[in-house]
Structure 1
Amino acid sequence: MTAATKTSNKYKMWSFFKYENPQHRYVLSLAMQFGWSKPHPVTGKQVADLGALDKWLKGKHKCGQSPVQKPLNDMDPNECSKVIYALEMMVNDKHSKQ
């Protein structure tokens, strides 16, 4: 592994996603439902806050951590399902308290 590869992997966001993957789109939807959203700098539309999702996936978010700690693009469908279930429970818990 070269130094350039090591550096780029170190700073790679774990929340990068493939739009064509329906599980990834659902993860983004759940993140927004949980409140991890922000306005897009160009369009002004609300988009998922990839920074917050990234921290959660890495286990460094104040609200807890993902059950699978690896980049979203490196997860197989089963691992992605575990992440989806955890986010669904977080969203349900948040909305049941309101």
Structure 2
Amino acid sequence: MTVTKQTKRTLWSFYDKDNSQHKYILSLCIQYGWVKAHPKTGRRVADLGALDKWLRGTFKTGQSPVKKPLQDMTPIEASKVISALENMVSKSF
């Protein structure tokens, strides 16, 4: 999935760069292996398409415990997502 300015608003994985929970979720995605190369810098970044599918419940390896966009989640809901991702990361090793 190619992320453009128009699709950013429809992505459930669209995050707030100033929210520490969102940054940790992106870190967990990278640890789990959901990575891709940034188009401009070439650095490894979290694959927002994979996170989006997981949050929506359409990813082949599982689904999020909270079915809503990151921007709409409360801190408690985001912590549930973090716990699920931490479990996925720990089981992958």
TM-score (ref. length: structure 1): 0.86
- The equivalent of 1:22 in structure 2 is 20
Supply the RMSD in Å over aligned alpha carbons: 1.5
Unaligned stretches of 5+ in structure 1?
A: 1-7
Unaligned stretches of 5+ in structure 2?
A: 1-5
The structural deviation recorded for 1:38 is: 0.4
Tell me how far apart the structure 2 counterparts of residues 73 and 26 of structure 1 sit (CA, whole Å).
14
* Rg larger for: 1
TM-score (ref. length: structure 2): 0.90
The structural deviation recorded for 1:93 is: 0.2
- Identity of matched residues, %: 60
Q: How many residues align?
A: 87
The SS at the match of 1:80 is: helix
Tell me how far apart the structure 2 counterparts of residues 55 and 73 of structure 1 sit (CA, whole Å).
15
